[in-house]
């Protein structure tokens, strides 16, 4: 069955190739190929513009030298040439690497900032282009890099950004690992550098502890190691708590004491679950000075907390006003 089918297909192809329609198709394809060839030759002969990306690498860096700010990894060149020449740039990218020997701009000093002008950049590029190619634009049109001969310093890392929890949680703390990094740079730069910060980062609406790897913010002329740190935002959930706090009189002369009615008030507040047991009435202070009480026109004292522990929020006093009496002590 298969042989019969193959024989039928081969006979059909043979019949088609020997037919008039087949000869007409072959003639059409021949002239189409000739036309396409002439069109391609004409197209490649015309001039076009093209963006050429030339890799750049700094070579032969001596031992003990630290490049604190690298030059760009590539140079983008807008060129104009015939289409046939531009094809060469498209298919031979690996042959156009520009090597910049370190010694060519090393002045032998402890640290330096090397700046190559537009004409110097153009001199680096020209050997990598065909003689017929014209340069339209170079980006960047200048190159620079910083280096130092081993001057380093340890500085702390600070977090830069905003960390916000949802209303039912609070930020218990922020930890960075590592919290100090090594920096390299010129002596003048390191003298004025006391810390580095992370890149600006926002962590919003957090409901649980969150860890992110965040890069160190880059500074020209400064190199850091490591280049990123692990930032942990410690999030805890809030709980309500109440404590009874007495009102204490201060600066009272001998023989006199303060009596308030009631003698204690209720202080309600929100605190993180991890600190629930550690926050007690002793962490709150309600005081009234003898001088302030004497100046009162009535016997009602408006209460204000003199001390609120860290991590406590939404503090309320009930009642917030109490009656008071300055009483002479029985012992006196």
Domain borders along the chain are 2-44, 49-148, 152-237, 239-328
Which distant-in-sequence residues (6+ apart) come within 8 Å of 319 by Cβ? Answer: 262, 265, 303
> What pLDDT shows up at residue 5?
66
H or E element in which residue 263 lies: none
pTM over the 0.85 mark: no
Domain 49-148 has CATH 2.170.120: yes
**Residues in Cβ contact with 263 at an 8 Å cutoff, skipping those fewer than 6 apart:** 246, 247
- Please report the pLDDT score of residue 222 as a whole number: 93
Residue 70: name the closest of 229, 227, 220 by CA: 220
CB 83 within 8 A of CB 238: no
Q: Nearest Cα to 243, choosing from 308, 171, 288, 325?
A: 308
What is residue 154's predicted lDDT score, i.e. its pLDDT?
95
* Range of lowest pLDDT (46-50, 108-112, 219-223, 237-241): 108-112
Mean per-residue pLDDT, 92-105:
82
How many whole angstroms separate alpha carbon 133 and alpha carbon 149?
Answer: 40
Strands 210-215 and 134-139: unpaired
Residue 181 has pLDDT above 80, yes or no: yes
- Tokens read off for 175: 């930890």
Picking from 81-85, 150-154, 298-302, 322-326, which range would have the lowest pLDDT averaged per residue? Answer: 81-85
Q: In what helix (H) or strand (E) does residue 215 lie, and over which residues does it extend? A: strand 210-215
What share of the chain has pLDDT > 90, as a percent?
39
Cα–Cα distance, 21 to 266 (Å, whole number): 104
- What is the dihedral sign for C-alpha 39, 42, 45, 48? negative
Residue 149 banded pLDDT, cuts 50, 70, 90: confident
Q: Is the pLDDT of residue 20 over 90?
A: no
pLDDT > 60? residue 16: no
Q: Which residues of 285-320 are buried (b: 16+ CB within 10 A; e: fewer)?
A: ebbbeeeebeeeeeeebebeeeeeeebbeeeebeee
The domains spanning 49-148 and 239-328 adopt the same CATH topology: yes
Instruction: Name which of 214-223, 229-238, 304-313 the model is least confident about.
Output: 304-313
Q: How do strand 223-225 and strand 180-184 relate by DSSP bridges?
A: antiparallel
For domain 239-328, give its CATH number from 2.170.120.30, 3.40.50.300, 1.20.140.10, 1.10.1060.10: 2.170.120.30
Mean pLDDT check: name the lowest of 101-110, 189-198, 222-231: 101-110
Alpha-carbon distance of 183 to 217, in angstroms, equals 12
Average pLDDT in the chain:
85
| Percent of the chain whose predicted confidence (pLDDT) is above 70 | 84
Q: Tell me, what's the pLDDT at 8?
A: 58
pLDDT at 104: 87
What pLDDT sits at residue 188? 86
Mean pLDDT of 184-196: 91
Q: Please tell me the CATH code under which domain 152-237 is placed.
A: 2.170.120.40
Contacts of 25 (CB under 8 A, 6+ apart): none
Which region, left, alpha or beta, applies to residue 80 given φ > 0 means left and ψ of -120 to 50 means alpha?
beta
Q: Which region among 29-33, 85-89, 279-283 has the lowest average model confidence (pLDDT)?
A: 29-33
């Amino acid at each position: 069955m298969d042989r019969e089918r193959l024989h039928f297909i081969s006979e059909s192809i043979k019949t088609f190739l020997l037919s008039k329609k087949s000869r007409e198709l072959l003639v059409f394809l021949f002239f189409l190929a000739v036309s396409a060839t002439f069109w391609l030759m004409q197209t490649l002969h015309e001039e076009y513009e093209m963006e050429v990306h030339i890799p750049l690498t700094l070579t032969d860096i001596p031992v003990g030298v630290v490049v604190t700010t690298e030059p760009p990894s590539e140079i983008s060149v807008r060129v104009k040439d015939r289409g046939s020449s531009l094809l060469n740039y498209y298919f031979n990218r690996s042959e156009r690497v520009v090597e910049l020997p370190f010694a060519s701009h090393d002045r032998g000093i402890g640290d330096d900032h090397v700046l190559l002008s537009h004409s110097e950049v153009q001199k680096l590029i020209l050997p990598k282009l065909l003689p017929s190619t014209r340069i339209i634009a170079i980006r960047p049109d200048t190159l620079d890099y910083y280096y130092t001969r081993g001057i380093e310093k340890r500085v702390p890392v600070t977090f830069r950004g905003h960390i916000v929890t949802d209303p039912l949680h609070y930020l218990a703390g922020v930890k960075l690992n590592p919290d100090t990094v090594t920096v390299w740079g010129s002596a003048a730069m390191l003298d004025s550098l006391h810390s580095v910060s992370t890149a600006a980062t926002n962590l919003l609406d957090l409901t649980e502890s969150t860890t992110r790897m965040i890069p160190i913010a880059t500074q020209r002329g400064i190199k850091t190691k490591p280049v990123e740190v692990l930032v942990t935002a410690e999030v805890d959930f809030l709980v309500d708590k109440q404590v009874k706090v007495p009102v204490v009189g201060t600066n009272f002369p001998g023989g006199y004491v303060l009596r308030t009615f009631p003698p204690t008030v209720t202080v309600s507040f929100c605190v993180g679950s991890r600190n629930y047991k550690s926050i007690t009435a002793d962490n709150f202070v309600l005081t009234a000075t003898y001088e302030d009480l004497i100046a009162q026109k009535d016997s009602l004292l408006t209460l204000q907390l003199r001390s609120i522990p860290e991590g406590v929020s939404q503090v309320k006093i009930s009642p917030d006003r109490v009656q008071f009496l300055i009483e002479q002590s029985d012992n006196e």
